[in-house]
Amino acid sequence: MKKEWMYVVLTSLFELLWVFGFNVASSWWHWIIIVTIIAIDFHFLSKACESLPTGTVYAIFAGAGAIGTTLMDIFIFEGEFNAIKGLFMIILLLGVIGLKLADNSSKEQMQTKGENV
């Protein structure tokens, strides 16, 4: 896996960590840990945006956060799962994949134009 995609994976994981922290924090020092995790998360987010399209990075970051948080709510915090939630998670996942594919297509077109000049 390329380094820039590793940053995307890390920022998505750290996002889930601080969201989990919001649900379990019960003292002031928990919040210090959460703020530190948020700072690390945004560091990885900015590193990913240095070499990848920002729209794609943010879509993956937000999509992974939304789906991950929903799954965390269901499996860890005893939330409810229903078909509507499942459907919208699939739609969100398809949108993120579509954006990634569209970025790859745009890069290929730009490379082809550069070769034809």
Question: By percentage, how much of the chain surpasses pLDDT 90?
Answer: 69
Cα distance between residue 59 and residue 49, in whole Å: 12
Grade residue 115 by pLDDT with cuts at 50, 70 and 90: low
* In the chain, where the domains are located: 3-116
**Plot region of 73 (φ>0 → left; ψ -120 to 50 → alpha; else → beta):** alpha
Higher pLDDT, 109 or 60: 60
For 15-40, b/e burial (b = at least 16 CB within 10 A) is bbebbbbeeeeeeeeeeeebeebbee
Helical packing angle, 28-51 and 54-75, nearest 10°? 140
Encoded tokens for 77? 């915090």
pLDDT of residue 80: 95
Higher pLDDT, 7 or 53: 7
Say if CB 56 and CB 7 are below 8 A apart. Answer: no
> How does pLDDT run across 5-41, given as a tens digit for each residue?
999 999 999 999 999 999 999 999 999 999 999 999 9
Q: Quick check: helix, strand or coil at residue 37?
A: helix
Mean pLDDT of the chain: 90
Strands (E), the chain: none
Encoded tokens for 51? 């070499």
Say if CB 69 and CB 19 are below 8 A apart. Answer: yes
pLDDT of residue 55: 87
H/E element, 74: helix 54-75
pLDDT of residue 116: 59
pLDDT of residue 1: 65
